[in-house]
Amino acid sequence: MFKKILIANRGEIACRIIRTARAMGIQTVAVHSDIDRNAQHVQLADEAISLGGMTAQESYLQADKIIAACQQTGAEAVHPGYGFLSEQAAFATALGQNNIAFIGPPANAIAAMGDKIESKKLAKAAGVSTVPGHVGVIETAAEAVKIANDIGYPVMIKASAGGGGKGMRIAHSAEDVETGYATAMREAASSFGDDRVFIEKFITSPRHIEIQILADQHGNCIHLNERECSIQRRNQKVIEEAPSPFLDETTRQAMGEEAIRLAMAVDYHSAGTVEFIVDADRNFYFLEMNTRLQVEHPVTELITGLDLVEEMIRVAAGETLRHQQSDIGINGWAMESRLYAEDPYRNFMPAIGRLSLYRPPEEKHHDDGSLTRNDTGVAEGDTISIYYDPMIAKLCSWAVDRSAAIGRMRVALDDFVMRGIGHNIPFLSAVMEHQRFLSGDISTAFIDEEYKDGFQGVAPSPDRMRDLGLIIAAAAHKDAQRQSSSPGQDWAIQFVTDDPAQMADANLRCSFHLCQQDTALTADISPYADTAAGTTDAISIEIHQSADTPRVAASITDHKDDKTRHYICQLHKNKDSWQIYYRGTHLAAHARPPHIASLAHYMKPVIAPDRSNMLLCPMPGNLVKIMVADGDVVEAGQTLCIVEAMKMENALVAEKRCRIDSIEAKAGDILSVDAVIMRFADANA
């Protein structure tokens, strides 16, 4: 076995690999860019070597520097993680030439599978079913249109070198093909340095189901069952689970056998994933093979009990697989939520910033037998920059069945406190309560279909709204107790909304009974009205607030039926205004003594400044191109500029006909969110 290995990656995956290596008694070497010099993976490793630079290109993609780091530290092998150099055949070859083992597949398998056109040809030859389409490079837009017409719409234009959901466009018509062909090519050239694209049939509303395989250098290959990754936005996975709620044993076996057949065809060894899309009739089609450890590998580990990183290291050291196909079962159910730095309310635009608070839930086996796991590479105070992947953590749950795993995930998400940066926890929580997700009737179109106008947060049921109002009342009451020796007992909770009539019904009057300053309170509650009136209910509420985070745990008991409901939510206070966040619902309310609340309508509302005459950058990113000049008159829908953020080129378009008054930024600028790009004037002025 190796004595020392180098991890050519950063973030959660570098940390995860270091942990397994350490458990195996192997020394670890981290590498890092300049801005990552204090990153978690650097602190966790036994040694660290600086690669310099900021961008991936300047740092983690510097193969020569990584090889030099191995030589300098005596590392005998390199684990590449995912992304970066993990799927670069030349890197694996160069390591071999320097007598350093690559903890991954052989270079020729990477090369064969790294190219979508070549791998599709290979899969076909190996008898693996592939998506119908044209398996070859497309040279011109005219050829693209002709092929798309032959295949039949919709079609997907894909970069042959693509990955990470980049460089692909759906086309429903010949016009779509012409524009999609150009953008896919441009994205492919800038992301992969290779602008070859091909076209295949777009399978409508398929499920993404992939097979994990594991092979050694002695001709043994097994599969570790499937993962379902159908919950995607922009063709990128957000929630994964194992097993799939859709597969029957026959389909599972057939997919497993095809995956193994494909791996054997390229003399594969190490861990790898064969991705399929599966239609409503359980026909499955090969998409691509990822010749590396996959982001979502933890869900497979949770249902099989294997440590994939350990298996990869053993295979690279020449060991024979320790398991046969018949040893591999499916134990329980696992879910993974990818926590991203992004704004779910603004079409999942990437976000950047500093994690001013970062308190993940405790990783542990719970009393009910379920489990919480959190793979992360950041700590409180760290910054998520535009330079690398915006994934913050992979939160996983395991339990005996799917619904219990979802239940555990909900609580783990409730428990996650993160401030200082936009993140997608509200969205993940919303999906974990979404009826269609719970039923298992999902597809890759789930997000587009269920959140047609984008994610707007979850509208709470009246009962939930009442409970959240009560939690605010109890928190306000305790807050007042802390500040005054004789606080009032009565509170009016008035929700703040754009449409006051809409939520007025939910407003509450809450009268606490005299009590000591402890966590359990009892109160009478009634709908809010200027004069105390209406029905009164008696409740008890117990709340526990964390001293240094916005986390609040509350239990509310209705005396009527003696039922208790439990909540873990997050609460922020600003003067007498409170914000409460719970499972995708965000509510704001004022908590005031009733005599003050009754005067509230005299207060002037705050009016936001008008910024409709400016184009603001919707996300942090790189301004790639400006398509207009000062004085131009533009039409509604016309592209004004292109901003590239992390994984996508985003075209910013004019909302209405207008004249460009001034341009405030230039191509190449790195812009922060809401930076002014240009100003507009009336088209006729």
Catalytic site positions: 288
Q: Are 341 and 353 in contact (CB under 8 A)?
A: yes
Residues between 267 and 326 that touch Mg ion (CB under 5 A)? 275
Contacts of 461 by beta carbon, 8 Å cutoff, 6+ apart = none
Task: Give least dist CB 253 to Mg ion, A.
Answer: 22
Contact call for residues 403 and 432 (beta carbons, < 8 A): no
Please, what is the minimum distance in Å from the beta carbon of residue 367 to Mg ion? Answer: 38
162 in contact with ligand ADP (CB under 6 A) = yes
- Nearest distance, CB of residue 279 and ligand ADP, angstroms: 9
Select the residue whose beta carbon is closest to ligand ADP and give its number: 163
**Alpha carbon separation from 242 to 57, 235, 329, 354, 405 (Å, rounded):** 34, 19, 12, 33, 10
Query: How many positions of this chain bind Mg ion (CB under 5 A)?
Result: 1
Residue (229 or 468) nearer to Mg ion, CB: 229
Mark the segment that binds ligand ADP (CB under 6 A) among 228-236, 319-327, 544-552, 589-597. 228-236
363 burial type by CB count under 10 A (0-12 exposed, 13-18 middle, 19+ buried): middle
Residue (131 or 539) nearer to ligand ADP, CB = 131
203 lines the binding site for ligand ADP (CB under 6 A): yes
Determine the Cα–Cα distance for residues 635 and 655; give it in Å rounded to an integer.
8
> What's the DSSP call for residue 600?
G
Least distance in Å: CB of 448 to ligand ADP? 11
Encoded one letter per residue, x for contact with ligand ADP by CB under 6 A and - for no contact, window 74-93 reads --------xx----------
Does 180 bind ligand ADP (CB under 6 A)? Our answer is no
Q: Indicate whether 207 belongs to the interface with ligand ADP (CB under 6 A).
A: no
Contact status: 444 vs ligand ADP (CB under 6 A): yes
Number of H helices, E strands in the chain: 18, 40
Residue type, 666: K
Binding of ligand ADP by 385 (CB under 6 A): no
Q: How far is the CB of 637 from ligand ADP (least distance, A)?
A: 26
165 contact, one of ligand ADP, Mg ion, none, CB 5-8 Å limit per kind? ligand ADP
Residue 202 contacts which entry, ligand ADP, Mg ion, none (Cβ below 5-8 A, type-dependent): ligand ADP
Q: Looking at beta carbons only, is 244 or 570 nearer to ligand ADP?
A: 244
Q: Are 130 and 124 in contact (CB under 8 A)?
A: yes
Distance of closest approach, residue 636 Cβ to ligand ADP, in angstroms:
30
Among 100, 103, 287, 471, binds ligand ADP (CB under 6 A): 287
CA dist., res. 605 & res. 556, Å (int): 33
366 is in the binding site of which of Mg ion, ligand ADP, none (Cβ under 5 to 8 A by kind)? none
236 vs 526, beta carbon nearer ligand ADP: 236
Q: Per rule CB under 6 A, is residue 206 in the interface with ligand ADP?
A: yes
- Token output for 152: 């039949």
Q: How far is the CB of 202 from ligand ADP (least distance, A)?
A: 4
Give the footprint of Mg ion on residues 599-628 (CB under 5 A): none
Element (H, E) at 406: helix 402-415
Give the closest residue to 319 by CA, choosing from 66, 82, 111, 77. 77
H runs (alpha helix) in 24-159:
40-44, 63-73, 89-97, 107-114, 116-125, 141-151
Q: Which is nearer to Mg ion, 258 or 275 (CB)?
A: 275
| Comparison of 284 and 495: residue with beta carbon closer to ligand ADP | 284
User: From the list Mg ion, ligand ADP, none, which binds 243 (C-beta under 5 to 8 Å, kind-based)?
Assistant: none
Q: Does 192 participate in binding ligand ADP (rule CB under 6 A)? A: yes
Residue 623: what residue type? L
Q: Least separation, in Å, of the C-beta of 275 and Mg ion? A: 5
| 271 within 8 A of 293, measured Cβ to Cβ | yes
Minimum CB distance to Mg ion, residue 56 (Å): 19
Q: Is 200 in the site for ligand ADP (CB under 6 A)?
A: yes
Cα(106)–Cα(399) distance, integer angstroms: 36
Q: Among residues 236, 555, 577, 622, which is the contact residue for ligand ADP, using CB under 6 A?
A: 236
Residue with the closest Cβ to Mg ion?
A: 275
Stretch that binds ligand ADP, among 144-152, 203-211, 328-336, 500-508 (CB under 6 A): 203-211
Closest contact distance (angstroms) between CB of 365 and Mg ion is 32
Among Mg ion, ligand ADP, none, what does residue 641 contact (CB within 5–8 Å per kind)? none
Binding mask 138-177 for Mg ion (x = CB under 5 A): ----------------------------------------
Write the CB contacts of 557 (distance below 8 Å, at least 6 apart in sequence). Answer: 539, 540, 541, 563, 564
What does 483-534 look like in DSSP terms, one character per residue?
H-SS--SEEEEEEE-SSHHHHHTT-EEEEEPP--SSSEEEEEEEE--SSS-S
**What phi and psi, each to the nearest 5 degrees, are found at residue 555?**
-125, 130
In terms of Cα–Cα distance, which of 513, 522, 470 is closest to 489?
513
SS3 311: helix
Comparison of 66 and 465: residue with beta carbon closer to ligand ADP: 66
Please identify, among the stretches 39-47, 287-295, 428-436, 583-591, the one whose residues bind ligand ADP according to the rule CB under 6 A.
287-295
Q: Is the peptide bond before 132 cis (omega within 30 degrees of 0)?
A: no
Options 295, 510, 660, 673; binder of ligand ADP; rule CB under 6 A: 295
131 binds ligand ADP (CB under 6 A): yes
- Name which of 40, 43, 45 is nearest 375 in CA terms: 40
Cα separations (Å) of 529 from 189, 304, 467, 576? 63, 57, 18, 19
Among 598, 578, 601, smallest CA distance to 590 is for 578
Of positions 32, 208, 423, 477, contacts ligand ADP by CB under 6 A? 208
If contact means CB under 5 to 8 A according to the sort of partner, which of ligand ADP, Mg ion, none does residue 81 touch? none
Binding-residue total with ligand ADP (CB under 6 A): 29
Nearer to ligand ADP, 294 or 304 (CB): 294
Task: Tell me the C-alpha to C-alpha distance, in Å, between residue 142 and each of 102, 152, 157, 160, 629.
Answer: 43, 15, 14, 19, 31
Among 2, 181, 198, 202, binds ligand ADP (CB under 6 A): 202
- Report if residue 294 touches ligand ADP, rule: CB under 6 A: yes
Distance separating alpha carbons of residues 483 and 87, to the nearest angstrom: 60
Q: Is 274 near ligand ADP (CB under 6 A)?
A: no
Quick count: other Cβ atoms within 10 Å of Cβ 655? Answer: 12
Q: What is the DSSP string of 234-270?
A: TTEEEEEEES-SS--HHHHHHHHHHHHHHHHHTT--E
For residues 330 to 369, the per-residue mask of contacts with ligand ADP, x marking binding by CB under 6 A and - elsewhere, is: ----------------------------------------
For the stretch 379-382, contacts whose Cβ atoms lie closer than 8 Å and that sit 24 or more positions apart, written own/partner, are 379/40, 379/355, 380/355, 380/356, 381/354, 381/355, 381/356, 382/39, 382/40, 382/354, 382/355, 382/358
Q: How far is the CB of 321 from ligand ADP (least distance, A)?
A: 22
The amino acid at 91: F
C-beta separation of 28 from 20 below 8 A: no
219 burial via Cβ count (<10 Å: 0-12, 13-18, 19+) = exposed
Binding site for ligand ADP (CB under 6 A): 82-83, 131, 156, 162-165, 192, 200-203, 206, 208, 232, 235-237, 275, 277, 287-288, 290, 294-296, 389, 444
Binding site for Mg ion (CB under 5 A): 275
